[in-house]
Structure formats: structure tokens, C-alpha cells
């Protein structure tokens, strides 16, 4: 029998209920798909209840990355709790997505792993377990995950209300081989001085390694404007330069399209290979500058909420 002074009993009981009896809102699960045991990290907002349908945001890590770290790194867990949406972080097969570059270097691409089917099956699984608003499903991703986001928009666009690839352009193979079946709202966030993902198009590079060709950011942007039959009218604006020491300044271009869709481009002038507002995970000499003028997760979730 544990004997505590009266002044400590309330704190002990409170601690017990919070840490022992409270539901776990972040956990990892597995999904068997086409003979592969796939994993994903799930964040359920603390005020979720099955009686009310909530949005679902799929968040894809970059090449060599880890789904477990994406919630803390990007900040989406915070927005999930604040605004009540389910955030899911799938794990790529052997840490890389089959994004359409068709490289032999990565098993997921060499073996033609069906990541499009996996993401679709994952959405189906979550819709059976949780009350998810069918017209409020979104996907975003960074780098290799951003290119995979483009692919999902091309092949699974009817399932998503909006997509948001970050520090990523469309693989040339993907753009030439696949056309989106439906209009979908698109937000692109790229840096002009990204040493890995060339803003002007060309080979994705990691040091001296060439990792497949992408088209330019501008060409990626025009591809989706054409797909959505956007008007020629656009709105141009400058994002406030709140951190003058980060070496970055950001402009935004918005094209409105039929069916209340939009195609939006955030160009981070001087920006490198990182999500805006996130920690500098590698030195500037490797990934370039990180913009701290805005939170990428905040902008992306704000865009999703509009669609």
C-alpha cells in the first residue's frame, strides 16, 4: 500500500489518470499489401470522437527518412491536435518511395513497388477504423515524398481534395507517362538554391550522385495549371520577410481554376532543401538555406482547409 501525504495524493491520482489510463494518440501499425509488410505512424487528435467526420492528411517522408520523426520534424502533430484532423505518416519501402523516376539504385523503384496502391489501401483501412470526411483527404511530402505526392496526384487524384509537394519537382518520366484523371488543388513549395532538387530542372543530385531527372519547378507548376484548366488571371504577393538573417525571401503566385480548385506556387528565393520553419537538419553547405519566414506545415494545412 502506497502512503502519501494528503498534499501529494491529488497529484498522484492526476498523474495516474493522465499517464496510465489516458488513450494513446500516437502509435505505429502495420498493413500487409501485395506480400509486403508495410508500416505507418498514426496520430489521432486528442479531441477526436467517432461521431464527427474529420479530415485525413497523409504525410510522406523524404528519401532515406523515417515516418516516426516526421510529426515532430514538420509540426503536423501540433496542427492535428489544434484543428482536429488525423495525420498518418506511411513508411517507404526500404526508406524510398517509388516516385516515378524508375531508378535501379532504390529497391522500391527497381522492384516496381506499388506505393500508389499501398497509399490507397492505407486510406481504405483508416476509413474503416475512423470517421473520416471523404472529401477532406489530403497528401503532402518532402523531396522523394514530394515527388511521390506528385505521382499520387496523377494516379490517385480523385481521392484527394488537394496535394502539397515540398522541395520537389515532377520526375520527367512521370510527367511524360501519366496524366491526372481529375482536377486537384496543388500547392508547391520550392527553393531556388536547392542543391539537391534543381529549381530549373535537371538531375537530382546528392553530392556527385545523379538520381534521376526532374522538370523545372515552373514546368511542374504549369503542368498542373493546364490540367486544372486554370484561368490566365493570377494573384502575386510577397511573403513578409520576418527573418532577415535566413538568406531567404518568398513570393507566392495563385492561379484560380474551375471547380474551385487552385494551383499555388511558393518560391523561396535563396531557399535550399528543407521544409520552411523546420530545424536545419544538415549544414547549409549540404542542403542550403532554410527559410524561417513562415511555417511550411501551417501554410500547407491552411491550404488544405480551404479545399
Q: What pLDDT digit, counting tens, does each position of 173-197 carry?
A: 999 988 887 899 999 999 999 999 9
- Whether residue 16 is predicted with pLDDT greater than 60 in this model: the reply is no
Other Cβ atoms closer than 10 A to 72: 13
Sheet architecture: strand order including 132-142: 26-33, 36-43, 86-90, 54-60, 132-142, 162-166, 185-191, 261-269, 249-257, 234-238
Q: How many residues does the chain have?
A: 307
Nearest C-alpha neighbor of 185 from the set 260, 285, 94, 275:
260
CB 107 within 8 A of CB 25: no
- Show the CA angle centred on residue 100, arms to residues 95 and 101, nearest 5°: 85
Nearest C-alpha neighbor of 160 from the set 127, 186, 126:
186
> Using the 8-state DSSP alphabet, how is residue 260 labeled?
G
Per-residue model confidence as pLDDT tens digits over 25-70: 667 899 999 999 999 999 999 999 988 999 999 999 999 999 998 9
Instruction: Determine the pLDDT at residue 182.
Output: 85
Residue boundaries of the structural domains of the chain: 24-306
Per-residue model confidence as pLDDT tens digits over 237-264: 999 999 999 999 999 999 999 988 999 9
DSSP string, 223-250: HHHHHTT--S-EEEEE-----TTSS-EE
Q: Does domain 24-306 have CATH number 3.30.70.20?
A: no
Nearest C-alpha neighbor of 206 from the set 286, 301, 283:
286
| Alpha-carbon span 18 to 13, nearest angstrom | 9
Amino acid at each position: 500500500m502506497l502512503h502519501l501525504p494528503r498534499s501529494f495524493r491529488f497529484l498522484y491520482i492526476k498523474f495516474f489518470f493522465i499517464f496510465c489510463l489516458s488513450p494513446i494518440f500516437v502509435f505505429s501499425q502495420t498493413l500487409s499489401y501485395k506480400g509486403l509488410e508495410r508500416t505507418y505512424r498514426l496520430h489521432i487528435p486528442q479531441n477526436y470522437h467517432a461521431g464527427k467526420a474529420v479530415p485525413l492528411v497523409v504525410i510522406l517522408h523524404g528519401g532515406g527518412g523515417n515516418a516516426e520523426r516526421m510529426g515532430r520534424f514538420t509540426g503536423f502533430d501540433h496542427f492535428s491536435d489544434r484543428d482536429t484532423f488525423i495525420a498518418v505518416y506511411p513508411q517507404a519501402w526500404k526508406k524510398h518511395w517509388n516516385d516515378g523516376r524508375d531508378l535501379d539504385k532504390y529497391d522500391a523503384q527497381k522492384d516496381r513497388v506499388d506505393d500508389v496502391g499501398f497509399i490507397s489501401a492505407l486510406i481504405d483501412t483508416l476509413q474503416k477504423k475512423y470517421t473520416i470526411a471523404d472529401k477532406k483527404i489530403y497528401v503532402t511530402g518532402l523531396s522523394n515524398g514530394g515527388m511521390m505526392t506528385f505521382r499520387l496526384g496523377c494516379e490517385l487524384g480523385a481521392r484527394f481534395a488537394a496535394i502539397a509537394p515540398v522541395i520537389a519537382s515532377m520526375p520527367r518520366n512521370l510527367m511524360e507517362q501519366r496524366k491526372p484523371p481529375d482536377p486537384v488543388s496543388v500547392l508547391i513549395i520550392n527553393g531556388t538554391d536547392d542543391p539537391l532538387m534543381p529549381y530549373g530542372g535537371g538531375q537530382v543530385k546528392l553530392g556527385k550522385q545523379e538520381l534521376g531527372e526532374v522538370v523545372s519547378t515552373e514546368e511542374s507548376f504549369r503542368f498542373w495549371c493546364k490540367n486544372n484548366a486554370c484561368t490566365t488571371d493570377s494573384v502575386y504577393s510577397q511573403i513578409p520577410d520576418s527573418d532577415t538573417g535566413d538568406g531567404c525571401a518568398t513570393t507566392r503566385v495563385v492561379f484560380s481554376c474551375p471547380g474551385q480548385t487552385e494551383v499555388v506556387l511558393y518560391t523561396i528565393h535563396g531557399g535550399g532543401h528543407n521544409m520552411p520553419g523546420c530545424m536545419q537538419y544538415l549544414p547549409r553547405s549540404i542542403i542550403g538555406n532554410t527559410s524561417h519566414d513562415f511555417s511550411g506545415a501551417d501554410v500547407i494545412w491552411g491550404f488544405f482547409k480551404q479545399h
